[in-house]
Structure 1
Amino acid sequence: MAPTPFESLDDYISLPRIEALALSPDGTQAVLTVAVLKKDATAYERSLWTVPSDGSGAPRRLTRSAKGEAGAAFTARGDILFVSARPDADGEADDESGQLWLLPAGGGEARAVTRLAGGASQIAAVAEAADRLVIGAELLPGADSLEADAKLRALRKEKKVSAILHDAYPVRFWDHDLGPAEPHLLAIDLDTLEDTVAAVVAESDALATAAAAADTETDGATDAPADAGTPYPVTLPRPRDLTPAAHRTVDPDQVAVSPDGATVVASLQISEQRGGRFALVSIDVDSGERTTLFDEGDVDHEAPAMSHDGTRIAYLRSPRSTPEGPADVEVWTAGIDGSSPRRLAAGWDRWPTSLTFDRDDGALIATADSDGRGPVYRIPLDGSAPLQLTSDDFTYTHVAVDRFTGDLVALRSSWIAPPHPVRIGRDGAVAPLASPAPLPAAPATIGEVEATAEDGAPVRAWLLLPEGASDAAPAPLLLWIHGGPLSSWNAWSWRWNPLLAVARGYAVLLPDPALSTGYGLEFIARGWNSWGGKPYTDLMAITDAAVARPDIDETRTAAMGGSFGGYMANWVAGHTDRFRAIVTHASLWALDQFAGTTDSSVYWQRIFTPEAMTEHSPHRFVRDIRTPLLVIHGDRDYRVPIGESLRLWSELAEHHAAADGSTVHRFLYYPDENHWVLKPQHAVVWYQTVFAFLDEQLHGGEWHRPELLG
């Protein structure tokens, strides 16, 4: 077999990555966001590429800048919008905030659409038939205008103040601190974007007036009027705040806008003691008037989608889960004013991961995890059963509808193929599109393994086998446990990539135990409030089925996982010695401690009883650990705080270190990484350390410390 990029970590991190897709209004072109490794191999830069959506032609690069571009979307006229921190010739020389840019459909240079002091975070929604869009942006709570926000930011920067005052929980989220700025939704009318000599002169006059006013202020004064500051550029459309006094209620990912741009429907958080429920609200863009459409106690209303004719919305309704069991995720539709709400697909035992309206608004196009895959479905609005459109071994994302043909354009991936663009016909036939990131050859064959759990439930997994694995030369096995836990091993991951292990001779088992999505609500409920119960026994059953194969070496097995997978790795370590090595990344160790220090404590305390949290905490079994552990954690992980691994490491030393302090265990620590390891060279070190540890424990090799670890 010819070498593949997975034999070399340097070659692997150099592979181009397709991250997103947007479809033009006429359906003729798809714009892809592509990430490529920088020349110094320390980060990725992103650019936009266009490919014909009918499968013909070749990819063509649209943008090129040192700061990169992302978040592409189309205007009704076919212009391309994106967010970039590229320099703006008319802005401040040292401004590195991301702003909204527009690339004209007719050709020419891209130009900035915003010049917000805090930047534009993302494009939230674009009207299909009007020159209006909604963006997400963060504004300081003490500012009542864009100018005031700019002035307060400049003052904090000048005085080198980074302090944040909180008056509500939480204070952190996943990998970043919250505050002091808060997310808002801003409406922008592109038809007011001026690019004339007169507009430039008007802006120059406004700047001169502001400078003269600033000269009259007392030097060093900090009590100047809050609205004093450099006027927002008159050559740019002035963003209008649709969510004043937002106070962290806004999620720009949860927004839809009517085709005429007159109405925004958003899922906004209603604050509660330590969190909040999500309600659907309607915002009249011109007046700013807000109307609550759907709001219920202990129920979330999320993921709004707008029909092409602007008369209906679709959304997800999710009652809160409790320790008694998981709640369902329901598909609903209603009038744009909230009238005539109706549940769809009530008997469909799947959880949608995306919703959009079909070409004629007679159905919804949805994606959902299902049996280790992520198919595309059509859900008719007449109440009939959902129809599965794709039947291959892939998972689909970024699904867009071609309004002219009714075909779909999407990204798809599997464990042997990274995300790539495809076209899906009305009959479900799938055809790949041209791509600037050709699919790399995979050093593996992929198949499925099935087992029967102790309660009779079927459990399945993907099994990736290296070349040459046979009865005569069985491969060592790595059990990789997914995170979540409400997740599935059904799509490509650049971070947890089993092909790198397969290229080194390992077979990799990717199981979906109890709590996994895509197998129905009852399958999830089997492990609810009992993480150390059926999820563990399912993993052991599927491992038994894998090692029973003659091409698997049952004497050389290891287990590894991250997040919930790290929790399970810790639980496995305390309950069996069948594995010769265990890797536990960003793992939960002491559930009572974790529940109060994670970034969303209310959720974890809502889904567990106190008794179950104690019973299923891995730290209680530290004395029973017999397997060498490689512990990995990033200090900026706020979902699973570093205290989990610090306590794990301390207790491993307390109970298992030799008298001189030496230990078979190891701890790989990243001071500046979060729940994920994102920097390319840090990822290289991660894999080097993991494979060196596995080689030592499974093959008896000599420990080799990765060079970059000093």
Structure 2
Amino acid sequence: MTFDDMMKMRRLGDIDVSPDGRWVLFSATDVDLAKNTRTPHLWLVPTAGGKSRALMEWMAGENGGRFSSDGKEILFESGREGGEQIWLASFDTATGTMGEAHRLTHLSTETDGAIWSPDGGQILFTSAVYPDCNDDGCNKARDEERAESKVKARIFTHLLYRHWDVFTGDKRSHLFLVDADGGTPRDLNAGDEHDVPTFSLGGPTGYAFSPDGREIAYEEKKVDDPALSTNSDIFTLRLDDANAKPVKISTSLGGDFTPRYSPDGKYIAWRSQRRAGYESDRFRLVLYDRATKQLKDMLPGFDRWVDEFVWAPDSQRIYFAAGDAGEEPVYMVKLPGAAMQLTTNGAFGDLHVTADGKALIASRMEVTTPAEVVRIARDRPDAAYSAMGHDAVIGLNRDGPLPLYHSAVDAVTHLNDALLAQLDMPKMESFWFPSIDRVKVQGFLIKPPGFDAAKKYPVKFLIHGGPQGAWGDEWSYRWNAELFAASGYVVVMINPRGSTGYGQTFVDGVNGDWGGKPYIDLMRGLDYAELHSSFIDKSHECALGASYGGYMADWILGHTHRFKCIVTHDGMFNTESAYGTTDELWFNEWEFKGTPWTNRALYRRWSPMLAETNFRTPTLVVHSQLDYRLDVSEGYQLFDTLQRMKVPSKMLYFPDEGHWILKPQNSELWYRTVNDWVDQWTKVQ
């Protein structure tokens, strides 16, 4: 596989299923490398499988397709006439054809995340507005005034003045309700100076309608110190009472996310964290009884993160996805709490249940295959529940793994089959090894195409970010393990302490110990791979990492000379300065157990900067101007230090990217620069 091959691949976006279960509506993004663009379009395919076809191909693109409750209309969002707006079109459920689209909204502040009300009469969406503005005219005038002003200075009076890759400014995300027949949208959070819903980098929406359409539930981080707190809560709001006030129904001190009503309206489920200030606490599935106002942990013994979930039509089952040992299977829990695993192999997401409850529609990807739409047959596994016992509550911890009920998984789309058939992408191999404290750690290895066991190959040693993340059987466009292997390398990846998918104790193992046990896990994992893979040339290895992986690459730079080169992308070099320049202060305060002035010893203990006298390894530094999670100054400090110490080094700087490299041509430069650097120092001449 080449970079050009990867750019030709069509990228699956979000999914929706028609109410009659006949059709899957999805978005797919096309990349034009020459034009430096990524454009999503709406596609349609029969649920049973068949030929996918584009419903429209507007130059501006379109996404967020959603069927109305009767399946006779589709809403979507597009910037066809300037600025993202909601559009509607009729849909023929028999033929799968869409009528002429018409624009519904005309907001200067644009729209996002639109969903239908249960009766199809209204649409709920978000828009970023000035909280003190009462109408769109006010928002428009304020924006125009700022755009025309010659003064671009800003005054800050609170923390979180910048977040991820933008300065937050005075606008806040609010929920709006608009009639499907048109009219002026109603701001449901008028005057609220907090974002509704909570900031997210993607995934399920943070709001939902009740089945009768009279109420919504949503997540909001209604705190005075958003840079210090992770405590988002779930609120409900009556829509049939103009004077109704939001009601907080969650009680956790941590984050609460993605509320979803049961189809019968009796419950609201959501994902909940218990510990305040810890963004990587276990995501539990909790159930709120609307009548009794009681909360219940649905899976108290399930020691994995519930990443997303969906109700079954009978309100007696919830399907959910959770990471486990490099995979992201689908599970099912039956009220009151018996659970089982339904799938293996690959990473599943964007779950939908057909109206008859007989199948799930989801996305699925593997390390060798980009995401595709699949159909998961439920096949009535009730007999398996009977064997478990009605009240069984089994979790992936001391109780052992959940029982596995194999469900058939069939491909619905084939977006990239023709291209993938031409490529040689070796399978990823898993291995386990013992590490410090008698803990077993998992690693993965990918051999190069055309592998010859009699030869020796250089190594690209990839280190994941987070630190609460994980390598696994997943496709990536930003750090594609198959593409790294394609140029004649063995790729080795380890999931050290802090990684997800191995239980919360394993996740917590990185807290306050950034360069300790996780570093040992990584080094022992590479030792194990070298010992058990005679084809590895351990004298020609390069370590590469981003985010926490970039931190670890910086740590490796000062603590071992085993590598021929290092690539560090958006890493933390100086723990103390990183505290003062990051956006989400709660992260640093949790991971380093306080502030630099309350726990300076721990910050300095794990600061890569303080080992600078040991720097010897040729290092490529990559950093971006719009990265507000780990400020570009971290990259500058490292590069300046390397240059002054005469260590062979190079810096790749992106003025127009954030924590991730997203623009196609920037991605091309990134891969070329990174691979050229590794080749320069590890390829045997």
Fold match by TM threshold 0.5? yes
The whole-number CA distance in structure 2 between the counterparts of 1:653 and 1:129 is 64
Q: How does 1:119-518 map to 2 (within 5 A)?
A: 119-123=110-114, 125-159=115-149, 162-190=152-180, 193=181, 236-251=182-197, 253-273=205-225, 274-276=227-229, 277-288=231-242, 289-296=244-251, 298-320=253-275, 327-336=281-290, 339-384=293-338, 386-392=339-345, 394-427=346-379, 428-438=407-417, 440=420, 441-490=423-472, 491-518=474-501
SS at match of 1:372: coil
1:510 deviates by 2.1
AA at the equivalent of 2:354: D
SS at match of 2:437: coil
CA gap of 1:268–1:566, structure 2 versus 1, over 3 A, is same
User: Which deviates more, 100-109 or 562-571?
Assistant: 100-109
The whole-number CA distance in structure 2 between the counterparts of 1:26 and 1:166 is 52
The whole-number CA distance in structure 2 between the counterparts of 1:249 and 1:350 is 28
SS at match of 2:668: helix
The whole-number CA distance in structure 2 between the counterparts of 1:329 and 1:132 is 31
Match of 1:578 among 559, 562, 582: 562
1:45 and 2:15 matched: no
Q: Residue 321 of structure 1 contacts residue 607 of structure 1 at CA under 8 Å; is this kept in 2? A: no
CA gap of 1:30–1:588, structure 2 versus 1, over 3 A, is same
1:626 and 2:619 matched: no
SS at match of 1:523: helix
Give the share of equivalent positions with the same residue, in percent: 30
1:240-288 per-residue CA deviation (whole Å, 9 max, x = no partner) reads 1111122133126311111232111011112133444211111112325
Q: How does 1:7-18 map to 2 (within 5 A)?
A: 7=2, 9-18=3-12
1:449-496 per-residue CA deviation (whole Å, 9 max, x = no partner) reads 221112211111221111333431122111111111111113211110
Q: Residue 131 of structure 2 contacts residue 190 of structure 2 at CA under 8 Å; is this kept in 1? A: no
CA gap of 1:481–1:337, structure 2 versus 1, over 3 A, is farther
The whole-number CA distance in structure 2 between the counterparts of 1:521 and 1:297 is 17
1:675 deviates by 0.7
1:161 deviates by 6.0
1:326 deviates by 6.7
The whole-number CA distance in structure 2 between the counterparts of 1:117 and 1:509 is 49
1:538 and 2:521 matched: yes
The whole-number CA distance in structure 2 between the counterparts of 1:664 and 1:487 is 30
CA gap of 1:482–1:502, structure 2 versus 1, over 3 A, is same
Q: Residue 377 of structure 1 contacts residue 387 of structure 1 at CA under 8 Å; is this kept in 2? A: yes
In structure 1, the gaps of 5 or more residues are 1-5, 88-95, 194-235, 658-662, 702-710
The whole-number CA distance in structure 2 between the counterparts of 1:142 and 1:244 is 8
The whole-number CA distance in structure 1 between the counterparts of 2:151 and 2:261 is 42
Q: Residue 48 of structure 1 contacts residue 70 of structure 1 at CA under 8 Å; is this kept in 2? A: yes
SS at match of 1:684: helix
Match of 2:67 among 45, 69, 74: 74
SS at match of 1:105: strand
SS at match of 1:686: helix
Q: How does 1:10-29 map to 2 (within 5 A)?
A: 10-29=4-23
The whole-number CA distance in structure 2 between the counterparts of 1:452 and 1:539 is 11
The equivalent of 1:519 in structure 2 is: 502
1:296 deviates by 4.0
In structure 2, the gaps of 5 or more residues are 93-97, 199-204, 380-406, 594-598
CA gap of 1:376–1:442, structure 2 versus 1, over 3 A, is farther
Match of 1:695 among 646, 665, 679: 679
Match of 1:647 among 616, 624, 637: 637
Match of 1:103 among 86, 89, 92: 89
Q: Residue 627 of structure 2 contacts residue 658 of structure 2 at CA under 8 Å; is this kept in 1? A: yes
1:189 deviates by 2.2
The whole-number CA distance in structure 2 between the counterparts of 1:26 and 1:103 is 18
1:337 deviates by 6.1
The equivalent of 1:226 in structure 2 is: none
AA at the equivalent of 1:589: F
AA at the equivalent of 1:460: Q
Give the TM-score, by structure 2 length. Answer: 0.89
Q: How does 1:83-102 map to 2 (within 5 A)?
A: 83-87=77-81, 96-102=82-88
Q: Residue 18 of structure 1 contacts residue 34 of structure 1 at CA under 8 Å; is this kept in 2? A: yes
1:208-232 per-residue CA deviation (whole Å, 9 max, x = no partner) reads xxxxxxxxxxxxxxxxxxxxxxxxx
The whole-number CA distance in structure 2 between the counterparts of 1:154 and 1:14 is 39
CA gap of 1:358–1:295, structure 2 versus 1, over 3 A, is closer
CA gap of 1:166–1:343, structure 2 versus 1, over 3 A, is same
The whole-number CA distance in structure 2 between the counterparts of 1:281 and 1:364 is 21
The whole-number CA distance in structure 2 between the counterparts of 1:322 and 1:159 is 39
1:381-415 per-residue CA deviation (whole Å, 9 max, x = no partner) reads 2122x2111022x0111111112143100111111
The whole-number CA distance in structure 1 between the counterparts of 2:276 and 2:661 is 30
The whole-number CA distance in structure 2 between the counterparts of 1:275 and 1:321 is 10
1:691 deviates by 1.2
User: Which deviates more, 449-458 or 161-170?
Assistant: 161-170
CA gap of 1:27–1:381, structure 2 versus 1, over 3 A, is same
CA gap of 1:582–1:527, structure 2 versus 1, over 3 A, is same
1:297 deviates by 6.9
The whole-number CA distance in structure 2 between the counterparts of 1:242 and 1:584 is 44
SS at match of 1:472: coil
Q: Residue 23 of structure 2 contacts residue 46 of structure 2 at CA under 8 Å; is this kept in 1? A: yes
Match of 2:628 among 633, 638, 646: 638
Give the TM-score, by structure 1 length. Answer: 0.86
SS at match of 1:522: helix
AA at the equivalent of 1:619: M
1:598 and 2:577 matched: no
Aligned residues: 632
The whole-number CA distance in structure 1 between the counterparts of 2:151 and 2:293 is 49
User: Which deviates more, 238-247 or 417-426?
Assistant: 238-247
User: Greater Rg, structure 1 or structure 2?
Assistant: 1
AA at the equivalent of 1:391: T
1:513-545 per-residue CA deviation (whole Å, 9 max, x = no partner) reads 110000001111222210111111110111111
RMSD: 2.0
1:77 deviates by 2.6
Q: Residue 277 of structure 2 contacts residue 587 of structure 2 at CA under 8 Å; is this kept in 1? A: no
